[in-house]
Chains A and B, each alone.
Chain A
């Protein structure tokens, strides 16, 4: 069974400040991990993904995430927040092998607010 837990349903940062969105996963097999972003009334857009290559993954819009197996974490960071980063962010996990369906299991999301 797989699951993700996103700590903090709401995060508020000032423009230019560090963004840190937390995600912890649980998986009985080596996981693939993803961060998606959702703007109001829109679908999900992939920010970045970890698929067992480099543990530090760089994505779009200046975001990156680090896979830490010992901590079962995959936190999302961005050095300097921009107003346009205000959105909801979802962490997701899928199985990486073993005939798994490759379906995504999502966390409950973190709503990021960026203050001017």
Chain B
């Protein structure tokens, strides 16, 4: 499968714990995006990378959230001290530069109990 890959697909964690999600974009895609989607809502932009540089962060991305793309390939999204409000699906997407189609992964579901 050469699509966008996300891991884990599902994560249940206790409030206050840290969680990390990984995204492997389509090979050679230089842009990588993170979105969050809650039930009944459309995806909301969190942040995006061009190669290893994080070029934009939404105000939705609080200090507890950090995203990295150290070598311009895979990316991680870490949530520290999780809260129940963090329960959502976290979607990763990638594209080959500006103006090209953005392809989404199947998402990582987070449930904070």
Contacts and interface: CB of A to CB of B under 8 A. Distances in A.
Contacts of A36: 104
Interface stretch (B61-69, B76-84, B93-101): B93-101
A51 B45 contact: no
B22 interface: no
B56 A106 contact: no
A46 B101 contact: yes
Contacts of B105: 43
B12 to A, nearest CB: 15
Given A32-B99, A102-B98, A103-B56, A42 B44 contact: no
A9 B42 CA distance: 11
A3 to B, nearest CB: 11
Interface residues of B, number: 25
B8 interface: no
B45 A105 contact: yes
Interface residues of A, number: 24
A108 B55 contact: no
Max count, chain B CB within 10 A of own CB: residue among A92, A103, A105: A103
Contact of B102 (A9, A41, A104, A107): A104
B106 A42 contact: yes
A63 to B, nearest CB: 16
Given A51-B99, A109-B42, 5 more contacts: A46-B102, A100-B98, A101-B55, A101-B98, A103-B56
Interface of B: 4, 31, 33, 40-45, 48, 55-56, 91, 93, 95, 98-99, 101-107, 109
5 contacts: A46-B101, A90-B43, A96-B99, A100-B98, A106-B43
